[in-house]
C-alpha cells in the first residue's frame, strides 16, 4: 500500500522543540499537509485517538517518561492504531543503539541530524512500504 506524503497523516513525537520544528518544516516543505507533533508518548497517543486515521508515527527514541519503545508497544496494542507505521528517529547510530530498535519491530530508522535534502523522500519511501534503516 502506497500513500502519497500529501495525503498521509503523520505524527512526530519529539521532546526537543528545535528538533521538532526542523522535522515539521522539512515534512511540510516535502509536501506533507497533515503532519502534527507532540512532545510525549502519552500526548501523541491521546491525539492519535482523536484522528480519523494515522498513517505514520515518527518517534524519537530517548525521551523523558516514556521512550519510543513505549510508543511502539502502545501503538501495536491499540485496536485502532495498530496498523500505523512507526519509525524511530534517533541520533544513536551505533550498532548497540540500532540493534534493539530493529529487534523491537520498528518499521524503519532515520538518523539525526536529519538530512534536509533527503528527509521527505525517506518518509515517502516508508509510506510506499519500504523499510528503511538509514544511518548518517
Asked if residue 1 is part of any domain, the answer here is no
Domain count, the chain: 1
Could you tell me if 74 and 45 are in contact, meaning their C-beta atoms sit under 8 angstroms apart? yes
Residue 45 is assigned to a structural domain of this protein: yes
pLDDT at 25 over 90: yes
- The answer to the question of residue 2 being in a domain is no
Question: What distance in Å separates the CA atoms of residue 116 and residue 33, rounded to the nearest whole number?
Answer: 17
pLDDT of 74-102, one tens digit each? 999 999 999 999 999 988 766 667 778 88
pTM of the full predicted structure? 0.94
Domain containing residue 56: CATH number: 3.40.50.2300
Range of the domain at 71: 9-134
Q: What are the helix (H) ranges across 4-118? A: 17-29, 41-50, 68-77, 95-104
Amino acid at each position: 500500500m502506497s500513500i502519497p506524503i500529501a495525503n498521509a497523516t503523520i505524527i512526530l513525537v519529539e521532546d526537543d522543540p528545535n528538533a521538532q520544528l526542523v522535522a515539521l518544516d522539512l515534512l511540510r516543505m516535502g509536501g506533507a499537509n497533515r503532519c502534527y507533533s507532540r512532545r510525549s508518548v502519552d500526548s501523541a497517543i491521546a491525539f492519535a485517538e482523536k484522528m480519523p486515521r494515522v498513517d505514520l508515527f515518527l518517534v524519537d527514541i530517548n525521551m523523558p517518561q516514556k521512550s519510543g519503545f513505549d510508543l511502539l508497544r502502545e501503538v501495536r496494542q491499540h485496536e485502532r492504531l495498530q496498523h500505523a507505521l512507526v519509525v524511530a528517529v534517533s541520533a544513536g547510530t551505533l550498532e548497540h543503539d540500532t540493534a534493539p530498535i530493529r529487534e523491537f519491530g520498528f518499521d524503519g530508522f532515520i538518523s539525526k541530524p536529519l538530512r534536509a535534502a533527503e528527509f521527505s523522500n525517506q518518509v515517502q519511501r516508508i509510506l510506499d512500504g519500504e523499510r528503511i534503516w538509514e544511518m548518517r
